[in-house]
Amino acid sequence: MQTEIIIAGFGGQGVLFAGQLLAYAAMEEDKAVTWIPSYGPEMRGGTANCAVVVADEEIGSPFVKHPQAAIVMNLPSLDKYEALVAPGGVLVVNTSMVDRPCQRPDITVVEIPANEIAERLGDRRMTNMVLLGGLLAQLPVVSMEAVDKALKEHLPERHQKLLPLNRQAMQEGASQPARV
C-alpha cells in the first residue's frame, strides 16, 4: 500500500518540518518513504510545501499528482490543492488562516483552528503539530508513537523541552471532528 500526502502553507509555518517528521516516523516503522520539499526563495512568508510518500514496498516515483491527503495551512494552499486530493481522501484545513469552506463533497474534511489551539497551548509554533494530529486521526499512515519517537530523535537538543507540548498539540488536533 502507498499513501501520498501534501503539506502546504507559507515559509515559517513548519510545513517542511511536519513533512520531515512524518517521513522519519515512517522510517521508524520500517516503511519506504520519500520526502520532497519545495519552497520559494523568500523562505519565511513565501510559499512552501512538501510531498511525502509512505509505502509498504519500494516507491516507484516520489512525485505526487493526486494525494490521498493534504494539510493546507493557508488560503492559497487550499485554492491550489483542494481539487487535487483524490476522491475519498482527507483534507485538513487550518481555519485560522482559511476563510472559506471546502467545496468538495467527495472527501473527508477536518477543519481545525490550529493557530488558536497552538496559542492556547502556549506556543504558536505548534500549529503544524495540531494539523498533523488531525491528519493522523483520519489517515493513520504512521502511529502517534512513531511520531513521538521521531520527534525525540530528531528535535534539536535545545528544543527537547518542547516534546510534551508537541505531543499535546498532536492530541488536540486528533480530537477535532471530521466532516464526511
pLDDT(44) > 70: no
Quick one: pLDDT band at residue 45, thresholds 50, 70, 90? Answer: low
Average pLDDT rounded to a whole number, residues 85-102: 97
Rounded CA-CA distance 162/66 in Å is 34
pLDDT at 98: 97
Computed over every residue of the chain, the mean pLDDT equals 94
pLDDT(159) > 90: no
Average pLDDT rounded to a whole number, residues 118-139: 97
Give the residue among 24, 9, 40, 20 at the shortest CA–CA distance from 127. 9
Quick one: pLDDT band at residue 175, thresholds 50, 70, 90? Answer: very high
Rounded CA-CA distance 63/51 in Å is 7
Cell digits for 151?
Answer: 520527534
| Strand ordering across the sheet containing 108-112 | 32-39, 47-55, 2-10, 69-72, 90-94, 108-112
Quick one: pLDDT band at residue 109, thresholds 50, 70, 90? Answer: very high
Residue 54, phi then psi, degrees to nearest 5 = -120, 130
Domains of the chain listed by start with CATH number: 2-174 (3.40.920.10)
- This prediction has a pTM of 0.94
Q: Which amino acid is at 47?
A: T
Quick one: pLDDT band at residue 152, thresholds 50, 70, 90? Answer: very high
Tally Cβ neighbours within 10 Å of residue 100.
Answer: 11
Rounded CA-CA distance 114/9 in Å is 13
pLDDT at 79: 96
CA R_g for the chain:
15
Could you give the percent of the chain with pLDDT greater than 70?
96
Could you give the percent of the chain with pLDDT greater than 90?
84
Which 3 state secondary structure label does DSSP give 111?
strand
Quick one: pLDDT band at residue 69, thresholds 50, 70, 90? Answer: very high
Which residue in the block uniquely carries the three cell numbers 528544543?
A: 159
